[in-house]
Amino acid sequence: MENLIAIEHLTYGYEERPVLEDISLGIAPRDFILVIGPNGGGKTTLLKLILGILAPWSGTIRFHGETGGRLGYVPQSARFNRTFPISVFDMVLTGCIRADNYLKRHTREDEEKTGVILEKLALYGKRNDNITDLSGGQLQRVLIARSLVSEPLALFLDEPTTAMDATSQTDLLDLLTELQERMSIMVVTHDPTPYAQAYRHIACLNTRLYFHERGELDSATLERVYGCPVEILGHGIPHTLLATHGEEEKRP
């Protein structure tokens, strides 16, 4: 099946320093890709490049069909203005704003879709609450609801479990597993533990990207990516042996 998103030889950096070098990656329909790697390894930068927030130095990102206009994004909750006076309903409604409609008022259809998404994510009872009154788990669900209201074909989440307790993490995983039935998902995280049962592919990123089918990562692989000894048992991922990080493991 043709990839929804095809990334080829992508390079990007800040000032003179390259953060990502020669990244090639394909995201298939209903894929679930986990991107792990050390801090500063370029995980969030890769997401921003795919989403068009940053422009690459070189390389291409190709979108199949209308995928490019239907990307969902769940940023880290710490990145947005949490003091902004806005209700849960209005926050989710902002997910309907696009480049071609931001000069118009929200339509009744936008409001109906927002209501449906809130209902689905068990947030309807909180619709009039201010976002400052939400717990970390509730806020994360609001951010997911905002990304889903635009009916994306691919969903990108940046460290979504950071502010969550164990119960909220389980709820999130259940939701992502359900969403995977109709969209591709990419999660960027430094802690892959919660996703052990959900992901299909795993990509290790530290300036360069090493792509793996679902399977085991040995300690040598992870140590190469992280540049230091890594306790792989701590990740809780079911493992199969991976030999080397040659070109053959990079995904076109």
Partner 1 sequence: MSTILSYEFMQNAILVGIMASIVCGVIGPFIVTRRMVFISGGLSHTAFGGLGIAYWLGIRPLIGATAFVLAAAVLIGRQEEKNMSRNDLFIGILWAVGVAIGIVFIHMTPGYAPDLMTFLFGNILTVPRADVIITLFLVLIVSGAVMIFYNGFVAVALDEEYARARRLPVAALKMGLMILTALSIVTLIQVVGILLVIALLTIPVAIASELSMNFRRIMLLSILCGILICLSGLMVSYFIEFPSGASIILIGGLLLGAVKLTEHLRGRRPAGRPEGPGGRRKET
Q: Is 11 in the site for partner 1 (CB under 8 A)?
A: no
Report whether 217 contacts 202 (CB < 8 A): yes
Q: How far is the CB of 137 from partner 1 (least distance, A)?
A: 18
Separation CA 248–CA 159 (nearest Å): 28
Q: Is 62 in the site for partner 1 (CB under 8 A)?
A: no
DSSP 166-188: HHHHHHHHHHHHHHTTTSEEEEE
How do 5-14 and 17-27 pair as beta strands? antiparallel
Q: Is 82 in the site for partner 1 (CB under 8 A)?
A: yes
Report whether 169 contacts 161 (CB < 8 A): yes
Q: Is 152 in the site for partner 1 (CB under 8 A)?
A: no
Residue 10: CB atoms within 10 A of its CB come to 22
**Interacting residue with partner 1 among 34, 49, 91, 205 (CB under 8 A):** 91
Q: Is 103 in the site for partner 1 (CB under 8 A)?
A: yes
- Six-digit token pair at 89? 């309903």
By rule CB under 8 A, what string of x and - marks binding of each residue 197-236 to partner 1? ----------------------------------------
Q: Which residues contact 87 (CB under 8 A, 6 or more apart)?
A: 127, 128, 129, 130, 131
Q: Is 52 in the site for partner 1 (CB under 8 A)?
A: yes
Q: How far is the CB of 88 from partner 1 (least distance, A)?
A: 10
**Interacting residue with partner 1 among 133, 174, 191, 223 (CB under 8 A):** 133
Q: Is 86 in the site for partner 1 (CB under 8 A)?
A: yes
Q: Is 70 in the site for partner 1 (CB under 8 A)?
A: no
**Interacting residue with partner 1 among 73, 195, 210, 211 (CB under 8 A):** 73
- The site that binds partner 1 (CB under 8 A) totals a number of residues, namely 36
CA 132 remoteness from chain centre: 23
Separation CA 228–CA 114 (nearest Å): 45
Strand order across the 17-27 sheet: 17-27, 5-14, 58-63
Q: Is 15 in the site for partner 1 (CB under 8 A)?
A: no
Point out which residues bind partner 1 (CB under 8 A): 48, 51-53, 69, 71, 73, 75, 79-87, 90-91, 94, 97-99, 102-106, 128-133, 146, 150
